[in-house]
Structure 1
Amino acid sequence: DTAPATERPAQLELLNTPHRSLPGGVHSDRRSHARRQTMWKGSGRTLFQTLVMENFKFSLFVITPIVTAALFWNDSFVELIVRNRQYIRYPPEGERPPVNQEELQERLQKARRAKNQD
């Protein structure tokens, strides 16, 4: 920090920056005129905004599985979810088809008898 002021142009620029007036006659701080430090070149977010966003994303990453596990640990909650989200509705179960040739013959005989009786 023993370098002369002429070797520090960025600091001189900050010192020579005039105050800008904000609405209502309030003067802004010199630091607000300094170029904002961005995370990546050309990025619109400041380093602070990026850190806040990354902390929020990490919190979601950690909290979401914990909350989901806590909710689905409760059997009544799972039952409630399953009942409210029945996407497939199966028709009531009917008579099962015959499995082998003998059952087919028996059913055909029953059907013929029923037809002959009518």
Structure 2
Amino acid sequence: MIRKLKIICLLLLLPIYLVAQEPSTNSSNQNDLLTGKWKVDLRPAPNSDEYYQPFLVKSINNNTFTGTFYGSDIKNALINENWSKLYFAFSTSDQSNDYYHSGYLENGKLYGITYCPNREFTAPWTATRD
């Protein structure tokens, strides 16, 4: 009887043990996946020619990051790691407009969207490691 109880306890605790042994997806691991140089495809339509611009995530500190996108410094950057994917948002600007960007990291690729209210413009984009 005691042997059966030990086996039952082991079977009940095994899933907890296995989950504890899985590689962590904590913030530092996900952040490491976002940091670095990216090549963003900003083509205006799916059948348009490729149009690449750089996206650089220089450093990450807690839920914020620094870097550049399309030649502009990143401002107001935030990261949300509370979901199964790493989500991010930030803004940039040029001489006359502010641009708002958001996206997520999935399977080593970035998926994003850019919005510029003054230009009545929004466009999806993707990025791969440069």
Provide TM-score, normalisation by structure 1. Answer: 0.28
Which has the bigger relative contact order, CA under 8 A and spacing at least 6? 2
> Going by fraction, where is strand more abundant, 1 or 2?
2
TM-score by length of 2: 0.26
Structure of larger gyration radius: 1
